[in-house]
């Protein structure tokens, strides 16, 4: 599964919440991608997820994701963000036949602003 966000800012927050303080990797990059217009994005809303979907109990979500990948029902799955519930992440299924239609830009260096570590 390729884990993406609907914006670079959300991707940064999604990563930042998992970083140890002051341990910013020095080789981070961002890669913008465009989904093919011919492939509809499937969506899971908070109502479709377990009641505590944002908690540290990952097993139910992992099971949903595993089933989605195996079924190949869509190239992309839009899911709510745990750190920002009103924002959306996009999961991409590399096993889906339309994966070759995903258009990716070249990687761009990415660095967190040092003020985020204060």
pTM: 0.89
Share of the chain above pLDDT 70, in %: 98
Whether pLDDT at 117 is above 90: no
d(CA 66, CA 108): 30
Helix, coil or strand: residue 91: strand
pLDDT in tens, 17-46: 888 767 778 899 999 999 999 999 999 999
Other C-beta atoms lying within 10 Å of the C-beta of residue 80:
18
pLDDT reported for residue 87: 96
pLDDT in tens, 44-59: 999 999 988 988 888 9
CB 3 within 8 A of CB 89: yes
């Amino acid at each position: 599964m390729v884990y993406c966000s609907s914006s670079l800012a959300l991707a940064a927050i999604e990563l930042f919440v998992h970083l140890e303080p002051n341990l910013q990797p020095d080789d981070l990059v961002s890669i913008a991608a465009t989904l093919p217009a011919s492939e509809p994005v499937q969506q899971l809303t908070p109502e479709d997820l377990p009641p505590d979907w944002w908690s540290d109990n990952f097993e139910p979500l992992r099971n949903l994701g595993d089933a989605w990948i195996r079924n190949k029902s869509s190239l992309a799955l839009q899911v709510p963000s745990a750190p920002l519930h009103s924002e959306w992440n996009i999961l991409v299924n590399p096993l889906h036949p339309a994966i070759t239609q995903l258009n990716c830009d070249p990687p761009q260096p990415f660095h967190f602003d040092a003020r985020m570590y204060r």
